[in-house]
Structure 1
């Protein structure tokens, strides 16, 4: 599944003008899609600076390729795929810089997303505690709706790698969210954080 529930109506005339090189039209597109493209990269990378770089690379590629957009699908779907590809490229680059893979083999229950009832602040903190690649795989699986074979293909990994990242990462996320909830209920923790 590569679709997204997020949509912004974009007038065809704006897309046509941008496709013909109208910089004002492209600037409007940039402003419309800056936030969702940045958010996608930030959620997967967990680093605002890298997310901004991905945003700029995404928009530059979109500008270079906008004449190729045929309007057969929503514009955000097309742009989102560019943003996703740029983000995955950045993840691969970071993984290669580290010089090792952290392939996990244990499989836990992955059926339920642990954040369904989570507080937004606790979820943001908990996601930030996960390793970058684990957070990205969880995001692709639970939020973007990609299958394990699709994730494995995008990352150049095995299906079992995707499954283990989701399983272990989901278990870790669930544990972090439980800990955060328990700490939030503790009166001394709440007082010390105020």
Structure 2
């Protein structure tokens, strides 16, 4: 999570909110709104459902704030609420697909490659960041859910191994294994593009 968010007196803010200063809740969740939405979208696959899940997660966090345990990070607790809400909605709509760690092996080739944009067709160097980001986003979207979640929490949102494990309700070993497999899948999907890129362009893929 962002350093600015970590530096805040979140414990004091939470205490004030529980005591009745409900308006402060908006300030409390502000640094995490993007993270919650990104994770919700990664599971729900469409903007409307992602917004609904994120909004419901914030409401549930507000209603249950008095029960928040200070020995955990607020950001981790918030993401956990969102993940549970998303899973419940997917379960109710019967669209959830069960995936276990043993079900998907990146070596089997069962993972569909991402649909990549040909970066050489983009003439302006000023579009480099947007172009690279688009390539990565497409590849991440193609990851099976269990790997996509770990990758987003660890490499995008900056969660520690223990924080990601707590949020996803899995072991730290599983987090490390899934992250490794996610990175390998992304490297495989992006290999043709990465080989063609200059070192300056490849630097955006810090895990490659």
Q: Which TM-score applies when normalising by structure 1? A: 0.59
Which residue number corresponds to residue 104 of structure 2? 104
CA deviations over 1:58-98 (Å, ceiling 9, x no partner)? 2112211223447666xxx2133222342155247647644
Runs of 5+ in structure 2 lacking a partner?
Answer: 109-130, 199-208
- Tell me if the contact between 1:38 and 1:55 (Cα under 8 Å) persists in the aligned partners: yes
1:179 aligns with 2:179: no
1:54 aligns with 2:53: yes
Q: Could you say what the CA RMSD is over the residues aligned between the two structures, in angstroms?
A: 4.2
Runs of 5+ in structure 1 lacking a partner?
Answer: 109-117, 186-194
Counterparts of 1:160 and 1:107 in 2: how far apart (Å)?
A: 18
Q: Which among 68, 80, 84 is matched to residue 80 of structure 2?
A: 84
- Tell me if the contact between 2:43 and 2:145 (Cα under 8 Å) persists in the aligned partners: yes
When residues 54 and 93 of structure 1 are mapped into structure 2, their CA distance, relative to the original with a 3 A threshold, is closer
Which residue number corresponds to residue 183 of structure 2? 170
CA deviations over 1:135-157 (Å, ceiling 9, x no partner)? 1133345553326x947x715x9
Kindly indicate whether structure 1 or structure 2 has the higher relative contact order, using CA contacts under 8 Å at least 6 residues apart: 1
Q: Which TM-score applies when normalising by structure 2? A: 0.56
1:134 aligns with 2:132: no
Which residue number corresponds to residue 191 of structure 1? none
